[in-house]
Structure 1
């Protein structure tokens, strides 16, 4: 498992991750989300919805592993996206994802 997935699990256990379309969109709007991770096998509609919202609120987003990898990392089923709610975790994610 890649290191950003380990970090996702850690961030989730630290309550610094929101899941579910509505929660993520609300966190983007309210400025709580510092990074949105979207599964590369999410539907194009879902991907567009999150990326458009991120772009209009200047929230960085990354297309990362599969929904299975994201779901496994946080121990929940069928998750296509996660919003990170912490600057420190976001810095580390961006570093790990770009490596």
Structure 2
């Protein structure tokens, strides 16, 4: 999980991370988001809303074993929804997430 948080932090420093429901929704609808990640303690209503948008636009969405407070510590903003706009970084996160689920 530390590598996952480090990669998310790197994505923010690279300027390829979007945060918050509205900003992520706009990026998904415009085709700018490569992957959407949600916090484990995000409200069910927000999670379902984002999942529907991602499904309609064929964007992968993952719920992480990371809380909004952990996001806040790593990226400087307490949020439950983030999107990665860089294909390379999104691919790296996908690989990490697939390894996590295989364990």
The TM-score normalised by the length of structure 1 is 0.94
**What is the SS of the residue equivalent to 1:24?**
helix
Give distance in 1, aligned partners of 2:48 and 2:74: 23
Partner of 2:91: 91
Partner of 1:73: 74
**What is the SS of the residue equivalent to 2:36?**
strand
The TM-score normalised by the length of structure 2 is 0.90
| Structure 1 moving runs of 4+ over 6 Å | none
**What is the SS of the residue equivalent to 1:92?**
helix
How many positions carry a matched residue from both structures? 98
RMSD: 1.0
Partner of 1:50: 50
C-alpha deviation, 1:58, in angstroms? 0.3
| 1:39-98 superposed Cα distances (whole Å, 9 cap, x missing partner) | 11100001001111000000001000111122212122x210101001100110011112
Give distance in 2, aligned partners of 1:84 and 1:49: 18
Give distance in 2, aligned partners of 1:22 and 1:95: 26
Partner of 2:30: 30
